Structure 1
Amino acid sequence: MPLFGKSSTFSENPEVREVEKIVAKEGRADQKNLDHAIKDLSHADKAHNKSIKAAENAAHALDKAVANENKAARAVDKAVHHHETAIADEQNAGKVIETTKQHQERLKQDLEQRKENVEGLRQLKETNDQAREERLADLHGREAAAVEARSNYSPGDRANSVGSVGAAGKSSPTATSAEGAVDTAGPTATGAGGATERGRSA
């Protein structure tokens, strides 16, 4: 039987079915937590990649600003205003790249934490799944043993045991065992034993 099957696969035993429902609910909760963590990890990974791209763009902008500054410096007499603008662009680009690097580092740390969290949840789910499988296997094993025990001690078998005791007419190890089975069979078997005993006295 699947670990987290639908209700149609549950045991007919009410107690076993209740445990199976609890186990299935726990499994779904673990899966939901894992899916949520994986989704967060995916978002963090996308944000991290985006920050790397932004850093590269900022680096290109810085290189471009430096080139513009050198060009403006060579033509300072003709383009003083242009030169000053390029310097300002360079400073701004430097601030942007520094800010971007800091943001990238924070995202990287957050990504590592989320990876650890996902791995922890994954290992926890595997441990819980194994424990639940063991609980269900033990529960189903005890249920099967109880069903087999009930089928081995049917009323017909007990009646046959009573009849063999009456036919023996004397106490032997086998007869004694059969009488012991009759004694423990319940009111019906005891009544049959009494009838056998009267027949022996006659």
Structure 2
Amino acid sequence: MPLFGKSDTFSENPDVRQVEKMIAKEAREDQKNLDHTIKDLSGAEKTHNQSIKTADKAQHALDKAVENEHKAAKALNRAVHNHDAAISNEQNAEKTVQIKQQHETRLEQDLEQKRRHLNELQQRKAQNDQLRETKLSQIHAQAAAAADARSASFDNNGQRATVGGAPPATAAGAPSAPVTGAGGALKA
């Protein structure tokens, strides 16, 4: 039986079928959370890459503004006004670079946090998948053992046989199928 998604091969035992459906639902929810986190990480990476390009453009603008300031300084006697304008552009470009670099740093930290979160979710999902597989194996093994015990308790004439002198389990009032408690755990 597949662990994920819907299946028409659920067990015929209603208790086992209910646990199987609950486990399949948990698996779908885990997958949905994982997909959402991957999408968030992809968006954060795209934004981070854009911020790197923007910061690079701002750095180029700063370099150009510095070059313009030097040209204006050489022509100071002729164009004091141009020199002041270039200084102003340089200051604005420096502020822009600082803002873009701060933004890049914040995005990088956010990206790293999202990567850690994704890793944690992947590890948690893997653990949950393993637990679900173990539960399903135990439930199927117990259901098979109960079915074998029921079929072994009948002799060739269709009469119940007692094993070891003990009366049949259903005659003593015990249920013939495994009983599950809160959270789907099997009770003895």
TM over 0.5: same fold? yes
Does 1:9 pair with 2:9? Answer: yes
For residues 23-63 of structure 1, give each alpha carbon's deviation from its aligned partner in whole angstroms, at most 9, with x where no partner exists.
01111111111111111111111111111111111110011
The one-letter code sitting in structure 2 at the alignment partner of 1:6 is K
Partner SS, residue 9 of structure 1: coil
Shift of 1:158: 6.1
User: Hey, what's the Cα distance between the residues in 2 that align with 1:5 and 1:92?
Assistant: 56
Structure 1 or 2: more helix by fraction: 1
User: Hey, what's the Cα distance between the residues in 1 that align with 2:27 and 2:67?
Assistant: 60
The one-letter code sitting in structure 2 at the alignment partner of 1:83 is H
CA RMSD between the two structures = 2.4
Instruction: Return the index of the structure with the highest Cα Rg.
Output: 1
Q: Where does residue 77 of structure 2 map in the other structure?
A: 77
1:156-167 matches, within 5 Å, as 156=156
Q: List gaps (5 residues or longer) in structure 2.
A: 169-188
Aligned in 2, Cα 1:18/1:40: closer, same or farther, shift over 3 Å? same
TM-score by length of 2: 0.82
Q: Where does residue 60 of structure 1 map in the other structure?
A: 60
The one-letter code sitting in structure 1 at the alignment partner of 2:49 is N
Shift of 1:89: 0.6
1:1-202 matches, within 5 Å, as 1-156=1-156, 184=167
For residues 136-176 of structure 1, give each alpha carbon's deviation from its aligned partner in whole angstroms, at most 9, with x where no partner exists.
000000001111122223352566x8xxxxxxxxxxxxxxx
TM-score by length of 1: 0.77
The one-letter code sitting in structure 2 at the alignment partner of 1:123 is Q
Q: List gaps (5 residues or longer) in structure 1.
A: 162-176, 186-202
The one-letter code sitting in structure 2 at the alignment partner of 1:20 is E
How many residues align? The count is 169
Are the aligned partners of 2:5 and 2:28 in contact in 1 as well (CA < 8 Å)?
Answer: no
